[in-house]
Amino acid sequence: MFLNRKGMSMAIQIFIVLFVLLAVAMLVLRLVTEQSEQQIKIIGEEIKQQELKRIKADCLSSCKCDSENEKVGYCLTLIRKGKATEGELDLDGDGFTTNYAEPPETGGLYGVCEDKIYCSQIASCKCSDQILDMRNCFKLICNFWDKQNADIPLLMAKFFPAPNCDMTDDQMMSHWSFTYLEEMVCE
């Protein structure tokens, strides 16, 4: 009986050691996984920031201030992201361009739909006499179209249609088209 008890005790000890090793291995695996997920998230943010910098640089390269026509051209330029559709950029990183987002470049002043973003919304073009941001662009565009005797309501509907991305009512009120609604009316 003494041997039987000693063998049983040894088996229990081995079982406990294996259980502790398994628990330690699971803890180490969990720590490594969490750290990897954090690193992947950081790398994803860095890639997104680099892409946004490249897009802003592309926008600013199209910033020409020699004539009113060139200024209006800049104001109506949609961003370009590689071979993706003009104007689209996944700002929130969810893999879709159908959402409302607030680009950091706006300073929280307004949001945009990710499927139609103009250069002037993320990169202000500095001309000698003015800065072409979204607010100033509306005034410039209205004056330009008015001088051309253009069908302003038709052009406004074409270039600045009502937003159609996924957003809440609060986000809708923060969307740039509502924020600058008064300035979008050409007189």
3-state secondary structure 86-153: CCCCCCCCCCCCCEEECCHHHCCCCEEECCCCEHHHHCCEECCCCEECHHHHHHHHHHHHHHCCCCHH
What was the pLDDT predicted at 24?
A: 93
- 8 Å CB contact between 118 and 100: no
Whole-prediction pTM: 0.69
Query: What average pLDDT does the structure give for the chain?
Result: 82
What was the pLDDT predicted at 23?
A: 92
Is the pLDDT assigned to residue 26 strictly greater than 90? yes
Per residue in 119-139, pLDDT (tens digit) is: 888 888 998 878 888 888 888
Report the percentage of the chain scoring pLDDT > 90.
12
What was the pLDDT predicted at 158?
A: 85
Structure tokens at 119: 């250069």
Per residue in 44-66, pLDDT (tens digit) is: 788 878 888 888 888 889 899 88
